[in-house]
Amino acid sequence: MNTLRAGFSVVDITPPLNAPVVGSWTDRKIDGYKGPLSANTVVLEKNRERIAIISAELCEPETSLSNFVREEVERRFNIPKKNVFVAATHVHSGPKVTNDPNDHYSQNLRMQLVTGVMKALADMEDVRIGIGKSESTLFTHNRRLRAANGEIAMNWFDPKLLQDCTENEEERDPDIFSIRFERPDRSIKGFIINYSNHNNAMGGTYVNGDIGAYIGERLRDLYGKNCVTLLLLGACGDVNWCDFKDIDWPRDSFHYRRIAEHILGHLLIIGSNLEYPEIDSISAECETEKMLEREFNEYDSVIDRTFNYKPQGGLEVVQAKMKKEPLREHDVNTGIIRLGNDIVILTVNAEYFSAFALDIKKASQYKYTIISQLTNGCVNYVPTREAYKQGGYEVRKPATLLDYGAGEVICEKLKKLL
């Protein structure tokens, strides 16, 4: 039987100065750099089956980007499109990606991601996979607080204004996964790591890869400069790292490091007790379904506790523009990567709510069930039906685009893939 093989690569995708910054409703430009941005790739091969996974330090690239990359990879390298996955780490201090042929950054980015697969193919070696899991919610908070008057209040406001609120601590996914790729001499080639939290604790208009990039940097310190880490972000549409209960929680620009060091600690604990399951086969599939955008409703423009009784600035501008346009159809992409009989990675191209991930994991028969959101594009937030009834930021159009119940439909699709 063939052994499992894997190749890793890193390509630079740092945007130029003054390029538009993504991740906010207001127009911002890149003012400087706190680090580069990269796209990290692994290609896996077993019994002639090949799977490519790209983890790009981008915020929420449109599905057209991953469609281009997946088609090019199929055409050039004979890896079927259904086996190619482009995940975003959801950095909020990075570039806006467009389809504009005059946007040189975005045009070059598309080819850089394809180049990353080519480089990984030139790096293929025999590997064995070690995997383990830990749990923590120390820096993970459900950001949809319930205020005393029943409204949803978002946890990113001044904690002093939120002390009448309670947090739904049930709805956050505590899992931290580490998949470690070892060469025959036991040296470490790379990692796939997975945890569920917004990757925007540094933020700002200076380019940086935030929590995920810092974890990758520290793993390079430990295991050598060629060690490549792919972050696959779990379902974190409704969670972030803002602790409203702690009036003094540090809003300094180093908070991302505290979170990263904490996750790193868990990765090291996992690393001391890995399991090496038999990987006798690998396979993948993914498919796109068109789903229609919902109509605007009254709640989309209500000024309530969601924005702390303030208008949200740019959101209203975007809403006014969208109201003049016809409703669009959106490509909802769901997929699965199977590594042997124990490990499965389910993918969805949305900012998916924690409750869905918890539900899927409960239903899964696999020993290791990993969710990778914002993979193969982005159809914005996909909340639960319950969340639509409650209100809050994520259920407003265009923070969300799909109709009520779309999240539940996607959840059933993902469960069927298991």
CA atoms of 273 and 262, how far apart (whole Å): 18
- For Zn ion, which stretch binds (CB under 5 A), given 8-16, 255-263, 273-281, 349-357? 349-357
Q: Name the minimum Å distance from CB 399 to Zn ion.
A: 9
Cβ closest to Zn ion, residue 331 vs residue 351: 351
- The number of C-alpha atoms within 13 Å of 261 and in the hemisphere containing its C-beta is 5
How big is the site for Zn ion, counted in residues (CB under 5 A)? 1
Enumerate the β-bridge partners of residue 370: 345
In the bound complex, which residue of the shown chain has the CB atom lying closest to Zn ion? 351
Taking CA 31 as the corner, what is the angle to CA 29 and CA 35, rounded to the nearest 5 degrees?
115
Q: Which range binds Zn ion by CB under 5 A, 94-102, 351-359, 370-378, 405-413?
A: 351-359
Q: How far apart are CB 373 and Zn ion at their closest, in Å? A: 9
In the complex, the smallest distance separating the C-beta of residue 198 from Zn ion, rounded to whole angstroms, is 6
Strands (E), 22-64: 32-33, 38-46, 49-56
- Burial (Cβ within 10 Å: 0-12, 13-18, ≥19) of residue 26: exposed
Selected range binding Zn ion among 65-73, 168-176, 317-325, 343-351, rule: CB under 5 A: 343-351
Q: Across the strands, what pairs with 407?
A: none
Task: Tell me which stretch binds Zn ion (CB under 5 A): 1-9, 348-356, 362-370, 402-410.
Answer: 348-356
Q: With beta carbons less than 8 A apart as the criterion, state whether 283 and 49 touch.
A: yes
Least Å distance between CB 153 and Zn ion?
A: 18
> Closest approach of Cβ 199 to Zn ion, in Å?
9
Closer CB to Zn ion, 369 or 400, in the complex: 400
Helix residue ranges per DSSP H, 176-274: 210-223, 255-271
Pick between residue 28 and residue 128 the one whose CB is nearest to Zn ion. 28
Residue 144 phi, psi dihedral angles, 5° rounding: -90, 85
Q: What's the closest the beta carbon of residue 265 comes to Zn ion, in angstroms?
A: 25
Q: Position 320: which residue type?
A: A
Eight-state DSSP code of residue 163: T
Closest contact distance (angstroms) between CB of 51 and Zn ion is 26
Residue 64 burial by Cβ neighbours in a 10 Å radius (0-12, 13-18, 19+): middle
State the CB neighbour count (10 A cutoff) for residue 135.
10
Please list every residue from 219 through 278 that binds Zn ion, using CB under 5 A. none
Residues 6+ apart with CB under 8 A from 293: 327, 328, 329, 330, 397, 401, 402, 403
Per-residue interface string for the shown chain with Zn ion, residues 36-75, x marking contact by CB under 5 A: ----------------------------------------
Site string for Zn ion, 301-340 (x = CB under 5 A): ----------------------------------------
Q: Decide whether 210 or 351 has the Cβ nearer to Zn ion.
A: 351
* Least distance from Zn ion to the Cβ atom of residue 58, Å: 12
Residue with Cβ nearer Zn ion (7 or 203): 203
* CB closer to Zn ion, 200 vs 369: 200
* For Zn ion, the closer CB: 83 or 347: 347
What distance in Å separates the CA atoms of residue 40 and residue 232, rounded to the nearest whole number? 11
* Positions in the binding site for Zn ion (CB under 5 A): 351
